[in-house]
C-alpha cells in the first residue's frame, strides 16, 4: 500500500511539473502583455485600403491618443466610429490590434482610439510557422482559399477575392476541429487573387 501511495505521489508531481511547463511555454508563445506604448512611437494605421503612419502621443482616461498621419500633415482621414487596425514593431515583438476611432481633435491635430483590453507582443522570430502544404484547402466563411503558412497566432491565406483589413473572418482548417475566429490584418491583391494575413483572436495548438 505504501509503495502504491508513493507511486501515486510520483505521478502527481510529474503531472504538476508538466502543467507548469505547458503554462510557461504557452505564455512565452503569447508574448509579454503590453499596457501602453512609448511616447513618440511610430505606428502603422490601416483603414480600408489605406495605410498611414502616425505617432503615439499618450494614454488618457478615454483611450489611446495618436497624432495625425505623418504623410497628411494635419489632416486626419479617419471618421469617428471607424474600425481600424494599428500595428507597430517593438523590441519585445510585433503589436497588432483592432480598435475604433472615438474622437478627433483639431488643436492639437490628434485622434483617440479605444485602448486594447489585452495586448501582447508577438515574437515572429520565436514562433514557428508551418507551410500550408499539409492542409492546402481552407475556407474563409463561404470563400475557398489556399493556406500558405500558419502559426499558433495567425496565418497567410491566398483567397479568390479581396477582404478588407479589419474584417472578422471564420477560418476552417483541417488541423483545427472547430472554425478559427480571426481578423484580417493585411491584404495584398494581384490580378484576381489576394494574399490575406490573418491574426487569430485566440492562439491555437498546431499538430507536431
Structurally, the chain folds into a number of domains equal to 2
Which of 68, 94, 120 is where one domain is finished?
A: 120
| Distance between first and last Cα of the chain | 39
What's the confidence (pLDDT) of residue 80? 93
Same domain for 154 and 110, yes or no, is: no
**Can you give the CATH number for the domain in which 114 is found?**
2.30.110.10
Please answer whether residues 187 and 195 qualify as being in contact, where contact means their C-beta atoms are separated by less than 8 angstroms: yes
Express each pLDDT in 125-161 by its tens digit. 556 667 766 566 788 888 888 888 888 888 888 888 8
Same domain for 111 and 39, yes or no, is: yes
Same domain for 96 and 150, yes or no, is: no
Structural domain including 75 reads: 34-120
Same domain for 112 and 141, yes or no, is: no
Q: Is the pLDDT of residue 29 over 50?
A: no
Same domain for 105 and 153, yes or no, is: no
Q: Is the pLDDT of residue 71 over 80?
A: no
**Can you give the CATH number for the domain in which 148 is found?**
2.40.10.220
Which of 66, 87, 120 is where one domain is finished?
A: 120
Count of CB atoms within 10 A of residue 99's CB?
A: 18
In this structure, is residue 24 part of a structural domain? no
Reported residue count of the chain is: 208
Please give the Cα distance from 140 to 94 (Å, whole number). 24
Helix (H) or strand (E) holding 28: helix 2-30
Amino acid at each position: 500500500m505504501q509503495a502504491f501511495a508513493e507511486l501515486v505521489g510520483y505521478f502527481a508531481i510529474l503531472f504538476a511539473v508538466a502543467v507548469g511547463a505547458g503554462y510557461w511555454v504557452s505564455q512565452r508563445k503569447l508574448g509579454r502583455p503590453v499596457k501602453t506604448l512609448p511616447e513618440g512611437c511610430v505606428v502603422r494605421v490601416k483603414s480600408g485600403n489605406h495605410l498611414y503612419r502616425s505617432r503615439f502621443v499618450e494614454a488618457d482616461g478615454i483611450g489611446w491618443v495618436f497624432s495625425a498621419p505623418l504623410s497628411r500633415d494635419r489632416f486626419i482621414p479617419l471618421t469617428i466610429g471607424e474600425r481600424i487596425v494599428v500595428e507597430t514593431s517593438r523590441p519585445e515583438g510585433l503589436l497588432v490590434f483592432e480598435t475604433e476611432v472615438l474622437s478627433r481633435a483639431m488643436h492639437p491635430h490628434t485622434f483617440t482610439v479605444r485602448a486594447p483590453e489585452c495586448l501582447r507582443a508577438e515574437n515572429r522570430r520565436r514562433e514557428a510557422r508551418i507551410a500550408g502544404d499539409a492542409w492546402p484547402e481552407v475556407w474563409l466563411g463561404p470563400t475557398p482559399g489556399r493556406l500558405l503558412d500558419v502559426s499558433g497566432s495567425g496565418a497567410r491565406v491566398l483567397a479568390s477575392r479581396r477582404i478588407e483589413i479589419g474584417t472578422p473572418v471564420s477560418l476552417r482548417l483541417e488541423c483545427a476541429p472547430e472554425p478559427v475566429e480571426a481578423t484580417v490584418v493585411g491584404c495584398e491583391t494581384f490580378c484576381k487573387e489576394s494574399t490575406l494575413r490573418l491574426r487569430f483572436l485566440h492562439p491555437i495548438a498546431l499538430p507536431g
